[in-house]
Amino acid sequence: MSIQPFFKPENKTDETMNIYVKSVSAESFNIDNLNLNDLEVNSLTSKEYKFKDEDNNTYDNLNISYNTDVNMYYEFIPNTPGQWWSLQSNNFKSILQVPNNNLKVGSRFILLCNLELFDTVNPNTVDFALKLGNTQITNSLFTTNALSNISTYVNLESHVTVYEKNNNPFEYTFIINTNYTETTNNNTISRSLTNNFKLENVSYSGTNSIIEYMYKNNGPTSFNTRILRGNYTLNQIV
């Protein structure tokens, strides 16, 4: 079947044509803009999927990555004991902040971090927490001991879902599920824990919000403790 347009080529931008057919088959079907109220298909195959957010940023898949190529692998000596510190370099961030426009009710984020800890002299206790919004740091989620000259491997995985967002005042409520696995000697699982909770009244301002891990070294000194950070990623599931 072939369909001949009734308008002249030079006038086609000023004309409309409604066509009903039972089926259409074509070797090539190109459309610049397609608006559909309802589309039902048995299967859909594409060579490449793209996702575009409200700010016209285009992503290669349905996960928005907030990772940079800076300090993906990072080794450092913990800062002053008794205070919460970021697991990132202050000057070269491995994870970017999240645009507040991307935090809507139902938005989901996955934060992953793999660590190796050891202490050259005296074992120290290390706590882990989440930082959200602008400055909100949760209570300690998990605690481990940096053993003397024995590596402790820690895997952190947090699923963060936006439960509520208020504009006056600017506040979030998050539902958070965090899994913790600790391994020693690279083959013996010491423990695996899960923490589920709702975090309310998390303040935010400006255009970006923080989603990252924090640590606190509780020993009398932190200069003997070492932390090697491997995979550290933040993705939004669209």
**For the ranges 32-41, 138-147, 185-194, which has the lowest average pLDDT?**
32-41
Does residue 78 register a pLDDT over 90?
no
pLDDT over 90 (residue 220): no
Neighbour-count burial for 94-124, b at 16+ CB within 10 Å, e otherwise? bbebbbbebbeeebebebbbbbbbbbeeebb
Q: What percent of the chain has pLDDT over 90?
A: 33
pLDDT of residue 185: 75
Percent pLDDT > 70 in the chain is 72
The span from the CA of 233 to the CA of 198, in Å, is: 22
Quick check: 2 pLDDT over 60?
no
Q: CA 64 to CA 158: how far, in whole Å? A: 16
Question: 11 phi and psi, to 5 degrees?
Answer: -110, 10
**CA–CA separation, 73 and 155 (whole Å):** 15
